[in-house]
A and B are shown apart, each in its own frame.
Chain A
Amino acid sequence: MKTKLLFVGFIVIYVLIVFKLFFLQILSPFKVNQDLYLQSRKLLPERGKIYDRNMTPLALNQNSYLLYLEPKKITDELKLTKLLSGELDMPEASLEAKIDMTKDWVAITSGINEDKKNAIASLKLDGVGFQEDMKRFYPEASLSAHLLGFVGKDKNGADTGYFGIEGYYNQDLSGLPGLLDSERDLFGRPIFIGVQNKVDPENGRDLVLTIDKTVQEIAKKRLQEGIEKYKAKQGCVLIADPYTMAILSLVCLPDYDLDKYYNFSESYFLDPAVSDAFEPGSIFKPLIMAAAINEKKVQPQDTVNEDGPAVVSGYKIKTWNDQYEGKITMTRILEKSSNVGMVYVGDRLGQDDIYKYLEKYGFGKETGIDLQGEDPSYLKPKSDWYPIDFATVTFGQGIAVTQIQMVRAFAAVINGGYLMKPYVVGQIRSDKETINVQPQVQGRVISSLTSDIMKKMLVSTVDNAEVKWDRPQGIQIGGKTGTAQVAIQGHYDPNKTNASFIGFLPADKPKFIALVTLKQPQTSPWGSETAAPIFFNIAKDLIVYYGITPSQ
């Protein structure tokens, strides 16, 4: 009898449970909190890494932590602020201001590394917690600060790339977040018969640059030495493959610390090589000379009588040293950097063709380089040009270009006449595919014959320049110096110049083209005495690095 009673009781309880479950799951399923066990979590993707052309990393990710407080769990606020402010190098007052006792959760600071996290955790403070995060790590420190850009936060607190590659390729580098919907029991264990949906995050794409870390290091070291020696305000070195316009090195100084970018003003973030326009000065002469030769208006051996200043619209145009050699050839015009001779070349070429070639060289338009913040510079409409403008532009004054535009145009002069699109990312890699970026021809400026003639003239320009440089022996080097006076309040200040040198080697089939610019060097205003020695120092190092053998 007792057994039957127990059995009936058991059955009754069982039936009640079945009814309750039937009620909960069938009759009123929506009245029950469906999210009671369901936990949704955003799975953050890993930001794409950045490598140089030899797959050595330039930007990686490292573990970091966001430190947060749960104010309602804090037992000793005084002790907490005192100890935490010491560990975080944050004033106690700032920390106190962040602690809002009405809130459940307050973010204090992000980017805390492993060691710091362990040190804070060992203090065993109530109400302190850490959330896993990631931040950028730069193995070569600030070797390529302008080029890389940095990762900061957007208005929603999410990681976002700013400037340089981080800015331009932000979408590719960011990836797509995933989502995890998982029903968990009270102990946080997954309920395997419950909902378990996972959409994996898509990590950001890795970028393989055309930059060579060693070339970058050489350029930065030599530029740093040059800036200190010649006491310049600023300097840049831009090295590229002239046939493809793949950038091998791009460095400007002063730059900024990528890890502590927030300590620098915005002016440091802009890359002067792509964002600042400058008057190029005499390095512009070969472009006009190439145009005149291409149009068959002059030949290298043609002569002009340089017997005094040229007069255009009442303005006197002198040579840089106010000395005149009399009858000189077109090649000699480049060798001695004669402004008077270039006015003659410009006159032969004609105003229409001068403007046409400025457009063909791509001035006044963005080059399309894959870096954020490129300035297209400004080429004023032809109708706004005065005769004096057409005269001064032949020797690179009265026109503003960016350094990347200048290198691209000069590369066209020596690579057979092709205007190439400059680029810094050579490969984009993801789990699914690898995209190889191919060199892109943007136009044809001059013929290959003109290009060959210009290379010879530019080799002669280096060989017979007014200044004798300590340069590598046995290797033909072509190039041109530049010294441009700086315009201040509508007038040129003769004591303030931008010095530059653009060169290439070996001349028969250039391995690289390099532009060195210095802003307002103090020891000498001339490009031949400041920028050129930096170029030749870089060239010597690169000859060894690339194993270029003497041909003479």
Chain B
Amino acid sequence: MSKSINFVIWVAVVGLVTANIFLFYSSIKLGDEITTYETKIDQIHHDNLNLEKDLSEVSSLQYAQSLADKLAFTKKSQPDYLGQLNYAFAPNQ
């Protein structure tokens, strides 16, 4: 009789300890996950701001102007038409 009681107590103690360890492990795991997601949210927000900045930079008139300058899409690059050709043929007159 006492053996069976001892057995039940041992099983209960082992069960409680196991449950305790499991609970402890779960809480740590959950805490880790929360920390990970918090970091990821911060990082994504951080990246979003950078992307938004990059996007607005390339869609700005400032950028378009700098690109136009780089590609020579300026008034300077307009072709010069020879409107009065007689001057071109009479350089020594």
Contact = CB atoms under 8 A, between A and B. Distances in A.
Contact of A63 (B30, B49, B57, B59): B49
Contacts of B62: 139-141
A60 interface: yes
B71 interface: no
Interface in B4-60: 9, 13, 27-28, 30-32, 34-35, 42, 46, 49-50, 52-53, 56-57, 59-60
Interface string A261-286: 00000000000000000000000000
Contacts of A63: 46, 49-50
B61 interface: yes
Interface in A65-106: none
A140 B28 contact: no
A31 interface: no
Contact of B31 (A10, A60, A139, A191): A191
Given A62-B49, A213-B61, A57 B27 contact: no
Interface residues of B, number: 21
Contact of A57 (B49, B50, B56): B56
Contacts of A192: 27, 30-31, 34
Given A63-B46, A139-B62, A213-B61, A190 B31 contact: yes
Contact of B35 (A132, A188, A193): A188
Interface residues of A, number: 26
Contacts of B60: 139-140
Contacts of A114: 50
A137 interface: yes
Contacts of B9: 7
A214 B50 CA distance: 25
Nearest to A14: B13
Contacts of B35: 188-190
Contact of A189 (B13, B34, B56): B34
B49 A189 contact: no
A60 B52 contact: yes
A189 B28 contact: yes
A522 interface: no
A185 interface: yes
Contacts of B28: 185, 189
A143 B61 contact: yes
A295 interface: no
Interface in A100-133: 114, 132
A160 interface: no
A189 B34 CA distance: 8
Contacts of B27: 191-193
Contacts of B53: 60, 62, 137, 139
Given A56-B56, A61-B49, A192-B30, 11 more contacts: A60-B53, A62-B49, A63-B46, A132-B42, A137-B53, A139-B56, A139-B57, A139-B59, A141-B62, A189-B31, A217-B61
Interface of B: 9, 13, 27-28, 30-32, 34-35, 42, 46, 49-50, 52-53, 56-57, 59-62
8 contacts: A132-B42, A139-B56, A139-B60, A140-B61, A185-B31, A189-B32, A192-B27, A217-B61
